[in-house]
Amino acid sequence: MKYALITGACINTGVAIVEKFLSEGYGVVFTGREAARVDAAKKNYLEKFPAAFVEGYVMNSLLDARTVDEATVASLFASLDEKGIFIECLVLNAADQGLGMKIFENPLTDFMRVLNTNVTWNFALAEAAARRMKERGEGSIVFVNSNTAYRAIPDRIAYEASKGAQLGMMRGLALDLGKYNIRVNAVLPGMIRTDRWEKNPDFYKDVPSRFTPLGDVADGADVADAVWYFAAHARNTTGAELVVDGGNTIQLYPIIPKEN
Ligand SMILES: NC(=O)c1ccc[n+]([C@@H]2O[C@H](COP(=O)([O-])OP(=O)(O)OC[C@H]3O[C@@H](n4cnc5c(N)ncnc54)[C@H](OP(=O)(O)O)[C@@H]3O)[C@@H](O)[C@H]2O)c1
């Protein structure tokens, strides 16, 4: 059986990515920060895919804003080694969204927290996975990045910085790992329909029609399809970016309907 490790997969986009890999016959190891939510997510996956191999792992990126939890990364991979599970595809989906980052108000540790999770922790996971992939002579790493790596939105400066840094890291990993037949790529979603949309329907009502030429934002499944493309089909592709944003990034102004 082939195995994928997918981070941040108790809710939203991560769930769609896990379900895509399970539906393709992969065994999946996923992470979340709270044991109860990891258990509940595993139960949901097994209800949908009763014959699947799916294992949840409790993992928080940081010990505090300044300190990445390296030990938990090491213990996750050690435990997979013990079970004979080789992670052929690592999907780095979890992210600190860094919401409400006010340049003159937030302490520096808020900036560090977001960068440490989205960049440094992901590097630690990529390094641990790539070390095993190198031995095996194959593997694929996919970052779930964001079109905010290209264009900014208000009060998200640490998030934007982290997603830009992730793209640089993705290219560096792709370059250094290519000789081991390890491919490293990034999916750049724009807005994704998540539970936040269900909670704030009025806020999001006009977003798809005004901000995307296609008139729709992505569902988790659209992002999962792009991740799957890199994981399973893109044999000769590394260091690439696939934007999944309904055309959001190419549009200069919001579309405001003219009043008659
Ligand atoms: N939603 C969008 O509109 C959008 C747009 C562009 C790009 N993206 C990117 O797409 C990916 C998924 O987005 P999403 O909206 O589905 O994410 P989400 O709902 O915010 O879920 C993020 C996941 O990351 C995990 N996570 C957060 N902080 C963590 C930490 N410090 N340590 C370990 N895990 C942590 C969460 O774990 P818990 O379950 O334990 O909370 C959660 O499972 C992210 O990389 C995001 O940047 C999203």
**Distance in Å, CA 235 to ligand 1 centroid:** 27
For the chain, give the longest Cα–Cα distance: 68
User: Per DSSP, what are the bridge partners of residue 140?
Assistant: 89, 183
Burial of 142 (0-12, 13-18, 19+ CB in 10 A): buried
User: Quick one: fold of 3-245?
Assistant: Rossmann fold (3.40.50)
Q: Would residue 150 show up in a list of annotated catalytic residues for this protein? A: no
Please say whether the dihedral angle defined by the alpha carbons of residues 109, 115, 120 and 126, taken in this order, is positive or negative. positive
What does the alpha-carbon distance between residue 147 and residue 212 come to, in Å, rounded to a whole number? 13
Q: What is the pLDDT of residues 103-156, one digit of tens each?
A: 999 999 999 999 999 999 999 999 999 999 999 999 999 999 999 999 999 999
For residue 54, list its beta bridge partners. 28
Cα of 135 vs centre of ligand 1, distance in Å, is 30
Ligand 1 contact via 56 beta carbon (within 6 Å)? no
Q: Is residue 118 exposed (0-12), middle (13-18) or buried (19+ Cβ within 10 Å)? A: buried
Ligand 1 atom with minimal separation from the 96 CA:
28
3-state helix, strand, coil in the chain (%, to 5): 50, 20, 35
Rounded CA gap, 224 and 147, in Å? 16
Least Cα distance to 153 among 254, 77, 227 occurs for 254
Mutating to test ligand 1, I would choose from 5, 12, 249 the residue with most ligand atoms within 8 A of its C-beta, which is: 12
- Locate the domains of the chain by residue range: 3-245
Task: Specify the pLDDT at position 2.
Answer: 98
Q: How far is the CA of 11 from the centre of ligand 1 (A)?
A: 8
- Are 190 and 243 in contact, with CB atoms under 8 Å apart? yes
Whether residue 259 is predicted with pLDDT greater than 90 in this model: the reply is no
Provide the token pair at 249: 């990034």
pLDDT band at 256, cuts 50/70/90?
confident
Dist. CA 61 → ligand 1 center (Å) = 12
Inform me whether the pLDDT recorded for 260 exceeds 80.
no
pLDDT, residue 138, reads: 98
Residue closest via CA to ligand 1's atom 36 equals: 8
Q: Is the CB of 93 under 6 A from ligand 1?
A: yes
Q: List, for residues 83-107, the tens digit of each pLDDT value.
A: 999 999 999 999 999 999 999 999 9
Among 55-59, 148-152, 251-255, which is the least confidently predicted range?
A: 251-255
The structure tokens 């549009």 sit at 251
Chain-wide mean pLDDT for the chain? 97
Q: Give the pLDDT confidence of 183-207 residue by residue, as tens digits.
A: 999 999 999 998 889 899 998 998 8
Q: Are 86 and 182 in contact (CB under 8 A)?
A: no
Ligand 1 pocket residue status of 191, Cβ below 6 Å: yes
Is the pLDDT assigned to residue 172 strictly greater than 90?
yes
Kindly report the pTM of this predicted structure: 0.97
